[in-house]
Amino acid sequence: MKEGSESFNFIEQIVEQDLAAGMPKEQLRFRFPPEPNGYLHIGHAASICLNFGLGERYNAPVNLRFDDTNPSKEEQEYVDAIKRDIEWLGFKWATECYSSDYFQQLYDWAVQLIKDGKAYVDKQSAEAMAEQKGTPTSPGVESPHRNQSVEENLDLFERMKAGEFEPGTHILRAKIDMASPNMLMRDPLLYRIVKKAHHRTGNDWCIYPMYDYTHGQSDYLESISHSICTLEFKSHRELYDWFLDQIADPNNLRPKQREFARRNLSYTVMSKRKLLELVQTKTVAGWDDPRMPTISGLRRRGYTPDSIRKFSEASGITKRDSVTDVALLEYCIREDLNKNATRVMGVLDPVKLVITNYPEGKTEMLVADNNPEIEGSGTHEVPFSGELYIEKEDFKESAGSKFFRLSIGKEVRLKNAYIIKGESVVKDEKGNITEIHCTCDLDSRSGSGTEASERKVKGTLHWVSIPHAVKAEIREYDRLFLDEAPDSHADKNFMEFVNPNSLNIIKEAYVEPFLQNAKLDDKFQFQRLGYFTLDKEASNDHLIFNKTVGLKDSWAKQQPKADQAKSNQPAAQQNQNQQQRSAINEIQKISKKYTNLSGDKLATARASIMNLAEGVEYEELQPLFNTAAKKVGTRIGVMISLGVLLKKGLIRNSEIDAFIEAGLQDKDEMLVEEAKRINLE
RNA sequence: UGCCCGAUGGUGUAAUUGGCAACACGUCUGUUUUUGGUACAGAAGAGUCUAGGUUCGAGACCUAGUCGGGCAACCA
C-alpha cells in the first residue's frame, strides 16, 4: 500500500475527487472483470494491482467477475487458472461473480427495452448490417426492421430465446442513432443466437448478451462505484451510460467507467489472441511456458508475487500508450531475489580442476552462508575434494590484468574454500583443455581464521566437488522476440520476430548436493550466475532448474568494449570531436539558466560562455540561430558566442544579421543588450 | 473526410492543480566486497512536440498545427 505522501495516479485522483464531492467512503466498490478465454498476463497484473490496490487503500470490496457472455470461447480451465493467479498474487476478492449470473435480469431488461420502443429484432445478414452501419466519416442508414411493431419484436425475441431460429438469422439491436459520430451508438447489437453449451448455464440459453449490454448493467447490479477498464473502451462509455440511463434507478449508485492505457512490455506481445497463437502453434510449450509474459509463465520462471506487484507500481497508470522496458521487470525480480534467495553453487559449463597438493581421496565439509543479506539465515555444508568442476569461462591459460579469474600462475579464491594457483593444463589431441591442474594454499581455508585465510585475492570462483556433484538439467531463457515491439509493425506479422534461440537447455550441469532437497517454489541464487528455481517437471532423480534471471554482469559488458578499443584507431581524433562538441554543449548548458542568474553569478556565466566560444566553429553555432523564441537563455548564449566569433574575424552574413536583428527586437532586455553590444563593436 | 484520446531525459512515471522540471529503471565513475552480485557515494542525460496567445510567471490554461493511438466483430 502506498504512503500518504506519494502522488496519486489519475484514477486515484478521480476517486479522491468523488470522495471530496461527498461520496460516502462505504460506497466505494471495485471489480476486476476478466473474460475466461485465456490466461492472465503481466498487462492484466496492472489492472489487478490497480483495482485490488484501490480496494486495499480504501478498505473497499473488490469483486472478481468473470465476463462470460460468449460460450464459444470461454472455458472452465481459464476460470480456474485466473483464480489461481490472482490468489497467487496475494489478492482476495470480495465476491466471485459471473455475468452469466445476470442472464435472466439482462433478458428482462431487454424485454423492457423492446416494450419501450428502444430495441428491435433485425433479420438481416451481418454483411447487410455492416454496410448500413456507414463509416466513421459517413452516417449509416436505418434497418428496414427498425420500425417494426413492439408486438412483432416481442414475438421474435421470444422465439429467438426459444431456439426457433438458427445462429446468424436474428439479433436484437438497440434503437439509438444511425448517424451518431460514435459508431457504437449506431443501433448496437444486444443479443445474438449462439447454440453452444455455456460453462455455467449449460444449455439454459441459446441467446447471449453482448459485452456492451452486459458490462455496465453488471456493474450496476453489483453496485460498483468505479468501473476501470482499458483505453480502447473509451468510446464505449457513451453506450455504457446510455444503457444505464434506460434501466438504472436514480436512487441506486450509478457506476462510472474510466479508462487507462494498457501496459506493454518490450520484446513480447500482450494480447490474449497472440499469446494463444504462440500456444497453438507450439512456439511455446503452453500458457505457463517460462518465456510467456503470463502470470503463470512468470511464476514458473521463478518470479515472485512481490516482484510483479512492485513492477506494476513502478510502471504507473496513465492514459498514454507506452512500452515498458523489460529491464524494469528484471530489476524488480533481482531486487526481491537478492534479498530472499538461498545462495548455492552450480556449474553450468564444467571443466575438471585437479588440486595436485590436496591429499588424495580426502573429503571435507565446508560451511556456506545461506544468505549474506539476511542476518541469522544460517549456513549449510558443502563437500570439498581434490577434484572439482569449475566454469570453463573462468579459466584462461594466459590473460591480461583485467581478467580476475584463474590462469596459469595466478591465484583465485574458491568460494567458501581455499586459494588456488593455476599450474598447468592437460589437453586432448584437438587442443581442448580437459583438465586444469593447480596447487592450493592449504592454510587458506575460508573461516579458518588463519592469516592465509584472510589474504585478499582478486577473483573468487564457484565450484562443485566432482565425487559429490549432482547432475541437473538447466533451462535458460532469452527474450521470446527479437524486436522491441513485435506487434507494432504494420507490414510484418509478429510471428516473424520470434527468437529461435529463446530456450537453451543444458542437460549436464552439476550442482552441490544441498540442492537434492530443493522444493518447488524454493528460490536459489547460483552464485555468480543468477537466480534459479525448480521446474514443475523436475523429479527426485532428475533435477530441472529454470533460470529466472541472471545476475547483473559488468564483466560481460566490458568484453565488447575491450574489442572496440582495439579496432578504434583514430581514438584521439574522436576525442577531439567530442571536446569540440562539448564546448558548444557547455555553452548551451550554461545558457539555459542564464536568465535566472544575477550579480556575480551572471558575470561568471557570461565570462565562461565567452571563454568557451573561443573553441566553437561558426558551423556549430549557426543551427542554434533557430532556437525557439521563448528559449531566451540559449539565444543569449548564442548571441554572446557570436560576438566572440565576430571579434575573431568572422564575416557577417544575412543569417547573422537576421539573428542579431531578432535579438534587438526581443522583449528580453538582456538579449537586446547583448545584440546591441555586438552592433557597437 | 468525421469523432475521441494522448505527447515531459534512452525507458516508465512525478511536478502539492499556474511558481527554479523530480523519482525510478537504464548508462557511466568511484568506494566496499570471499558473488565482476549486493550496498554506498557520485556523474551525464529534458527548456516539457511546434507556433502563437493569456499571465508578473505556463509542462500545466486558450487557439491553430504536427505526430502517435483508438473507433465501422453476431469478440471482450
Nearest residue: Cα versus C1' of B15: A7
Q: Would you say residue A440 has pLDDT above 50?
A: yes
Round to whole Å and give the CA distance between A290 and A11. 32
CA–C1' span, A269 to B39, in Å?
Answer: 35
Query: How much is the pLDDT for A568?
Result: 37
Nearest residue: Cα versus C1' of B37: A551
What is the reported pTM? 0.89
Mean pLDDT across A555-572: 52
Q: A457-471, A574-588, A600-614: which range is least confident on average?
A: A574-588
Give nucleotides in strand B with any atom < 7 A to a protein C-beta. 1-8, 10-15, 17, 20, 24-28, 34-39, 45-48, 50-52, 58, 68-76
Per-residue pLDDT band at A457 (split at 50, 70, 90): very high
E strands present in A345-415? 346-347, 350-355, 363-369, 379-385, 387-391, 411-414
Query: CB-based contacts of A660: which residues, under 8 Å, 6+ apart?
Result: A639, A642, A675, A678, A679
Instruction: Give me the residues paired with residue A435 across strands.
Output: A352, A426
Q: Would you say residue A678 has pLDDT above 80?
A: yes
Per-residue pLDDT band at A567 (split at 50, 70, 90): very low
Round to whole Å and give the CA distance between A324 and A305. 19
Backbone angles phi, psi at A355, to 5 degrees: -95, 105
- Do A297 and A290 form a contact (C-beta atoms < 8 A)? yes
Active site residues of A: 35, 262, 272
Distances (CA, A) of A214 to A219, A244, A375: 9, 11, 54
Query: How much is the pLDDT for A130?
Result: 95
Nearest residue: Cα versus C1' of B17: A13
Round to whole Å and give the CA distance between A165 and A665. 79
CA–C1' span, A476 to B22, in Å?
Answer: 38
Task: Report which of A550, A558, A508 is spatially closest to residue A529, judged by C-alpha positions.
Answer: A550
Q: Would you say residue A210 has pLDDT above 60?
A: yes
Nearest residue: Cα versus C1' of B34: A415
Query: How much is the pLDDT for A175?
Result: 97
More confident: A558 or A349: A349
- Grid coordinates representing A535 are 521446474
Mean pLDDT taken over chain A: 91
Round to whole Å and give the CA distance between A639 and A400. 51
CA–C1' span, A391 to B34, in Å?
Answer: 17
CA–C1' span, A405 to B22, in Å?
Answer: 42
**Percentage of residues in chain A having pLDDT higher than 70:** 92
Q: Which nucleotide is nearest to A169 (CA to C1')?
A: B74
Q: Would you say residue A285 has pLDDT above 90?
A: yes
Q: Which nucleotide is nearest to A627 (CA to C1')?
A: B47
Q: A66-75, A110-119, A627-636: which range is least confident on average?
A: A627-636
**Do the bridges between strand A419-427 and strand A503-511 make them parallel or antiparallel, or are there none, so unpaired?**
unpaired
Q: Would you say residue A378 has pLDDT above 90?
A: yes
Per-residue pLDDT band at A569 (split at 50, 70, 90): very low
**Do the bridges between strand A207-209 and strand A226-230 make them parallel or antiparallel, or are there none, so unpaired?**
unpaired
Nearest residue: Cα versus C1' of B36: A555
Residue A672: left (phi > 0), alpha (psi -120 to 50), or beta? alpha
Per-residue pLDDT band at A176 (split at 50, 70, 90): very high
Query: How much is the pLDDT for A135?
Result: 94
Per-residue pLDDT band at A284 (split at 50, 70, 90): very high
Q: Provide the CA A294 distance to its chain's centre, in angstroms.
A: 11
Mean pLDDT across A480-503: 92
CA–C1' span, A631 to B48, in Å?
Answer: 13
Q: Which nucleotide is nearest to A214 (CA to C1')?
A: B76
Query: How much is the pLDDT for A473?
Result: 98
Q: Do the interacting molecules here have an ipTM over 0.85? A: yes
Query: How much is the pLDDT for A293?
Result: 97
Angle A333-A339-A344 from CA coordinates, rounded to 5°: 95
Distances (CA, A) of A603 to A138, A360, A586, A592, A606: 64, 78, 16, 15, 5
CA–C1' span, A120 to B49, in Å?
Answer: 48
Per-residue pLDDT band at A562 (split at 50, 70, 90): very low
Query: How much is the pLDDT for A598?
Result: 63
Query: How much is the pLDDT for A491?
Result: 82
Reported as a single tens digit per residue, the pLDDT across A294-343 is: 999 999 999 999 999 999 999 999 999 999 999 999 999 999 999 999 99
CA–C1' span, A336 to B23, in Å?
Answer: 20
